[in-house]
Amino acid sequence: MLVLNFSHPLTEAQKSQIQTLAGKAIEEVKTIAVQINQDEPLETQLIAIIDAAQLSSQEWQSLPLLINPPGYAPAAFVLLAMLHGRIGHFPALIRMRPKHDPITTFEVAEILNLQHIREQARQQR
């Protein structure tokens, strides 16, 4: 599986947690820098950020992808909309949470299959 990381670099412990929760080996992690300029349109910036992943149209549609979204909510929402357009369905996301230790560190809380969540929510219409 390919992890597209739009957040802080993943530690070896976090990668191990991801593999355990996903039940699949990580083939590659692509960490893509997300620096948002508040004076520029968000959509244009996210196009460039996603393009930095350097995936072909075929790869977007066929590779097993797992997304670690940026922490800035508006960027995460636009990223999700754009990924849905390129992939053809909602991707799975990594949810991180802080560990309650004297020094703040983060662990992988869960893998969220957004397509499955969407399908379940449609039953409530």
Q: How many domains does the chain have?
A: 1
Structural domain span for residue 114: 2-122
Note the residue count of the chain: 125
Is the overall model pTM greater than 0.75, yes or no? yes
Q: Residue 125: is its pLDDT beyond 90?
A: no
Per residue in 29-84, pLDDT (tens digit) is: 999 999 999 999 999 999 999 999 999 999 999 999 999 999 999 999 999 999 99
Q: Residue 94: is its pLDDT beyond 90?
A: yes
Per residue in 7-30, pLDDT (tens digit) is: 999 999 999 999 999 999 999 999
Residue 4 contacts residue 59 (beta carbons within 8 Å): no
